[in-house]
Chain A
Amino acid sequence: MDKIPILRMGQFLLVTIQIDLYDRLALNLETDLVSMVHKTGARGVLIDISAVSIVDSFMGRILGNIASMTRILDAETVVVGMQPAVAITLIELGLSLTGVHTALDVERGMALLETKLGPMDLMADEDDNSE
């Protein structure tokens, strides 16, 4: 069964979705991601969907859910690299993904996460180091 890898990058988690998500896979990703955030204490999640060409309302909802869930666990979610067609589809479906941060590409997404969590994280880093 397909599995979407979740990579740890410092205090962030990086998820690159390289295939079109089907419902089961999306649900698994949601579960895996939330438990990873909990386990690693990550402060940010970056989801790259630049290779995703098709979305439906379910997939849109999953993205929204992931953002809400990680927020409860004190992590911000950034979705990057959305294709124009995907953006238009989501808007037409009435899903504007409020609460999800967005960026053009992974680099800018990382920069966004860093500015979002900047001052606090220096402290978090120190805590990590001291432990």
Chain B
Amino acid sequence: MATGIIQLLKRHKAQVLDTWIQKQLANEELREDLMTNDDLRTQSEELIDMLAKTLTEENINQIDSADFDEVFELLATISISRARQGFSPRETGLYIFSLKEAIFELLQKQLVDAPATLYTEVLKVSRLLDSFGVVTLETFIKGREEVIYRQTEEIADISTPVIQVWDGILALPIIGTLDSARTQVVMESLLQRIVDTGSSIAILDISGVPAVDSLVAQHLIKTVSATRLMGADCIISGIRPEIAQTVVHLGIDLSNIITKASLASALKHAFSMNKLVVKRIDVVEKKAF
């Protein structure tokens, strides 16, 4: 059939592309800040070329055909790059669905005398592009999940800095809730720093921990025991009154652990353990010298 969608698409590729671009540009929600019009045109042209190349009368009804692997791959690339650029899923979805409209317009113009053919062709195109849209959204979500996963990892790394506050004294301010995975990270980085710096005292500051339940307490005790095994002493500081209350109400025994209310008092304790004295030098005395 000479008027089939495939021939039409191949013959009027440029026209479809123009309509599609126009539709996208006409859309008020177009994010010109995220992507230039030239880039948009290149991306769209690539997709239409690929579509015209792979589409045949046989595979148009078989969406899971292996012929479409390349198209899906291209869609995935577009989708992931859009996810990274900060497009919303709606915008990415509309990008594909506006192609459908452009093709419909072409079909409507070309098949104006044959409504029955128009209907079947529209149905085919619609089904094909719907599945393209779904693939795009799926990859989009996957792309976003990867971004979130990477950010989670980065936050975990950033939020457990081990600081050397004094010669032989390390401090580790914990921000956020301690779970098993984070305890592992905290323990590893703390113990490694103890070895690297030869520090004999570690201060775990939990001012940034929103709540301490029995599980978090258990993780804290684990970390303290591990530092003790290494041969260093561990002080837990930054215990807020409400945390002290929960700990006692839960019946958690912290009596074997040195605990302090603030990082300052923990540091003071660490100084006395290391037999260090901090002295205020009298200004008058200094001038005299």
**Which A residues fall within an 8 A CB radius of B?**
79-84, 86-88, 90-92, 96-97, 102-105, 108-109
Contact = CB atoms under 8 A, between A and B. Distances in A.
A81 B195 CA distance: 9
Main secondary structure of the interface of A (DSSP, over half): mixed
A88 B226 contact: yes
Q: Report the interface size class on chain B.
A: 10 to 19
B230 A102 contact: yes
B231 A84 contact: no
A109 B232 CA distance: 11
Given A84-B191, A84-B230, A104 B184 contact: no
A96 B231 contact: no
B229 interface: yes
B192 A84 contact: yes
Given A87-B227, A104-B231, 14 more contacts: A79-B229, A79-B231, A80-B231, A81-B231, A88-B188, A91-B187, A91-B226, A91-B229, A96-B225, A96-B229, A104-B200, A104-B230, A108-B200, A108-B231
A82 B230 contact: yes
A84 B222 contact: no
A79 B232 CA distance: 12
Main secondary structure of the interface of B (DSSP, over half): helix
A104 B198 contact: yes
Contact of B228 (A83, A86, A102, A109): A102
A109 B230 CA distance: 11
B194 interface: yes
Nearest first, the 5 A-B pairs at minimum CB distance are A84-B191, A103-B231, A102-B231, A87-B229, A96-B225
A88 to B, nearest CB: 6
Contacts of A84: 187-188, 191-192, 194-195, 226, 230
Contacts of B194: 84, 104
20 contacts: A80-B231, A82-B229, A84-B191, A84-B195, A84-B230, A87-B226, A87-B229, A88-B184, A88-B191, A91-B225, A92-B222, A96-B229, A102-B231, A103-B231, A104-B194, A104-B195, A104-B200, A104-B230, A105-B198, A105-B231
